[in-house]
Amino acid sequence: MIRTHNLGYPRIGAQRELKSACEKYWAGLSSLPDLLDAGKSLRSAHWQTQRTCGIDLVPCNDFSYYDQVLDMTLALGAVPQRYARLAEAPALELYFAMARGYQKDGLDIIAMEMTKWFDTNYHYIVPEFQRAQSFSLNSLKAAEEFGEARALGINPKPVLIGPVSYLLLGKEKEPGFRRIDLIDRLLPAYIELLQTLREAGADYVQIDEPFLALDLDRAAVAAYRSAFDRISGAVPELKVILATYFEGLRDNTALAASLPVHALHLDLSRAPDQLDYVLAAIPERLTLSLGVVDGRNVWKSDPDRTMPLVARALEVLGEERLLIAPSCSLLHVPYDCAPETAAAGVPAEIGNALAFARQKLEEVAAIASRAAGEVKRPVGEPEQDLPGSPRPTGRPGVRARVGAVVPADLHRSTPFARRQAIQQEALQLPLFPTTTIGSFPQTPELRRLRTQLTQGKIGQEEYTATIKKEIEQAIRFQEEIGVDVLVHGEFERNDMVQYFGEQLQGCWFTRNGWVQSFGSRCVRPPIIYGDVERKAPMTVELAAYAQSLTARPVKGMLTGPVTILQWSFVRNDQPRRETALQIALAIRDEVSDLEKAGLRVIQIDEPAFREGLPLRGSDRDDYLGWAGDCFRLATSGVHDATQIHTHMCYSEFNDIIPHIAALDADVITIETSRSQMELLEAFKEFRYPNSIGPGVYDIHSPRIPSCEEMVDLLERALRYLPKERLWVNPDCGLKTRGWPETKAALATMIAAARTLRERQ
C-alpha cells in the first residue's frame, strides 16, 4: 500500500477565524481561554478534514497562533534577554510580545525582526542568537497538540523545523561567532523534544530542513551529519521524515541520502528532474516521499506530469517505500475552491482547473490509489482528467507590444545626479524630507463601506464621495503635522495587489481565497490566468483629486510588476518573465497617465523583488535581469522632473544591493527599524548612488517609539548615507494600524526629522 501524508495545513481558518480571535484578544475584547478555545476548534476541524480527504499521516504542530519559527524559538528557550521581565507572564503573552513588541505596564520592548520565508510571501519571526546562547526545552506545545489529535482518533505526525534550518533561519546579534556553531548546544533541547514526542506515542515525526535544497558551506554540511547522527542515536524508534522543499537537492543529494532517517521528502513540483538522481543515490533502507502536488499554486495536477514520476519511483522502490504528498506545506494556498467554482462569475478560461488545499489533498489520495492500481478520483472531478493549467484566451495586441520593447524603453534618459537637481528645483524639499509609504488606517467603517458597495447597497457615486472626504482629512492631517511629500491614504484599496488585479484583464479574484502573510494578516491573491492588460486608468482620478487639495507634492501610489506577479497565483503555461513584462506595460501606462494628471512624485512599490530571487545562487542572474527590466520598463517613461520612488520591506537585501541600485529609482524606502539599521551595513562596501529612506519605526508593532529612538536610527543612517540623500519615513504602509497610534507615531517622526535638521 502506498501511504499518503501532508506536510502542513492552512491554519488561519477557512473564514479567517484565527485572525478574528487573535485580533479580539490583542484588543482586549476577549480572554486568553477564548483564544485558546478558538485554536483548539480550528485544529480539530483541520485534522478531521485531512483524514476525510484520505491522508494517512496527518500533520500536527503545524498550527501556530503567529508563526511556526517563533513557536520553535519559544520551545527551545531561545527567548532574547530583553523579554526577561515577561518571564512570569502567560506563555502566549510573551510569545505575542516577541512577535509584535510590548508597550504597557511601564515596559517598552521592541519586537523581533521579521523577514520572508524563503521565496514566499509568508513572513517569519527571525531567531536571535548570542555568542553565549543557551537552549532548553521551554514549551510542550508539540506534545500537547499531538495528544489532542490522538484523542480525536487521528494518526498524527508532529512537524518540527529541523535544528540546522532553525539556526540558519536566525541571525547573530553580536560579532565573534557563527550561529551554525551553536548546533552542539541546541541538540540536547531538540532531542529532549523528540523524546517527549516519542514518549507521548509518536511513531513518525516530520523534520523540515529546507536548507538542504540550498547552497551549503562545509560547516552546514558537517552540522547536518552531526545533528542527524545524534538524533538517530537518541530516538532510534522514531521514524523521521526529512522534508525538503522549494528547490531540488542538486549537489546535496548524496548528503541528504546518507542521513539516518526513515524517509526523504522531495519537492517534485519545483524540481521534478531531481527524482532520477535521488533514486540512483538512496540506500535500500530509505523511503521516498514524492511531493507531486503543487503546494504553491492553485492549478490542478496534470496526470501526464505526475503519474510518470510516481511510476518511476514505484518501479525502483515498491509500494512499501513510497509516500505521496504535496510538494510543501499547504500554508501557501487557500482552503477550498468548491464554494468559489460553484458561484457565478468564474472565467471560462479557468474552467475546472482549480485546486485549493482540500482538493490538493484529494489529489494526493487519488494519485496514491491510481499508482497502486485502484481507481479513485478526487471528489467532483469529471471522468476526463484536465491538465493542471488554465486555458487562456490570448490577446495578440498584448503579445505584440511585449515583443516591441527595445532597450531604450528600459532606462531613464538622464543620470540620477542631474535628475536630482531638476527634481529639487521643482519640489523644493527640505533636508531630510519626510513621507509615508502610502496607506493610512483602514477603519471598520471603511471596510463596511466597501462591503456595502460590493453588495449593491450603495452606488459608486456615494462610495467615491465618502472616499474623497477621507482623502481630504488625510491631506489636512499631513499638512498640519508637517509631512513634506503627502499620500492620499489608499482608502479605496482593499489590498495593494488585489486592487490592481481587479482592474487588469487576465486576472480573477476569489471571494474567500485567503492566504496568511504574517500573524493575523491575510491576503487574497489574484489568479492570473491569461494575458494581462490595463482596461482603463486605475488610480488617476483619486490621486489627481488629492493633489488638487494641496500645494505640497502628493505621491501617486502603484504596485510594481514583480510584486503583482509574486503575490498572485500565476498561469503556468508560459514563463513568469512573459507575464511580468505584460504587467510592467500596464503599470507603465498608469505611470504616464499620473504624470499627465500633474503628479510630480510617483511611487511604484516592489516589496516582493527580493522574494522572487531563486534560492540557488547559480540561478539568480537571469531573474535579476528580467525583474530589473520589468521595473525599469514600468518607470522609465517619465520626464526628468518626475521623481520615482519605490518601497521594499521585510526581506534580506544586502546581497543584491547593486541590483537594487540598478533599478535607478530616485528614492527607495526600505524596512530597517526592526533590525536597527542593520541593512545599512551593506553600504560599507557599496556606495548606494540614489536617495534612500530607511524606515525609522516598525508599523507591524503597536508600540510607538520615542523621538530619541528615531533620531538615533537616523544618525546611524548618516554614517553610511550623505545627508542630501536621506529621507525620513516609516517601515511600511499604515493600513493595519489605528488612527491614534498612527497620528502619534507620525508626529514623533516629524519631530525627529526636525531635530536632525537642527543638528546639521
Q: Is residue 543 part of a domain?
A: yes
Residue recorded with cell 478534514: 49
Give me the pLDDT at residue 50, please. Answer: 98
Same domain for 338 and 221, yes or no, is: yes
Q: Divide the 760 residues of the chain into consecutive groups of 10 and give the mean pLDDT of each group.
A: 96 97 96 97 98 97 98 97 93 96 90 93 96 96 97 96 98 95 98 98 98 98 98 98 98 98 98 97 96 97 94 96 98 94 81 93 96 59 48 83 96 95 96 94 90 90 95 97 96 91 93 94 94 96 98 97 96 94 98 98 94 94 96 97 90 80 94 70 81 86 87 90 94 88 94 94
How many other CB atoms are there within 10 angstroms of residue 270's CB atom? 20
Beta-bridge partner residues of 659: none
Q: Is residue 381 part of a domain?
A: no
Domain boundary among 354, 371, 388: 371
Same domain for 561 and 656, yes or no, is: yes
Same domain for 238 and 89, yes or no, is: yes
Q: What is the 3-state secondary structure (H, E, C) of 535-565?
A: CCCCCHHHHHHHHHCCCCCEEEEEECHHHHH
Predicted structure pTM score = 0.91
Domain boundary among 371, 397, 430: 371
Same domain for 577 and 696, yes or no, is: yes
| Active centre residues (catalytic) | 700
CB 687 within 8 A of CB 151: no
Q: Which three cell numbers stand for residue 532?
A: 494581462
Same domain for 351 and 441, yes or no, is: no
Q: Is residue 348 part of a domain?
A: yes
CB 292 within 8 A of CB 310: yes
Domain boundary among 331, 350, 371: 371
Q: Is residue 382 part of a domain?
A: no
Q: Is residue 380 part of a domain?
A: no
How many other CB atoms are there within 10 angstroms of residue 312's CB atom? 14
Q: List helix spans (H) across 455-560.
A: 460-481, 498-501, 540-548
CATH of the domain at 126: 3.20.20.210
Give me the pLDDT at residue 672, please. Answer: 77
Q: Is residue 408 part of a domain?
A: no
Range of the domain at 601: 421-758
Q: Is residue 25 part of a domain?
A: no
Same domain for 576 and 455, yes or no, is: yes
Q: Is the dihedral of CA 621, 622, 626, 627 positive or negative?
A: negative
Number of structural domains (the chain) is 2
Give me the pLDDT at residue 686, please. Answer: 82
Beta-bridge partner residues of 299: 354
Q: Which three cell numbers stand for residue 77?
A: 528557550
Q: Is the dihedral of CA 430, 433, 438, 441 positive or negative?
A: negative
Give me the pLDDT at residue 458, please. Answer: 93
Same domain for 614 and 677, yes or no, is: yes
Give me the pLDDT at residue 385, please. Answer: 43
Same domain for 458 and 583, yes or no, is: yes
Quick one: DSSP state of residue 108? E
Same domain for 133 and 194, yes or no, is: yes
Q: Is residue 406 part of a domain?
A: no
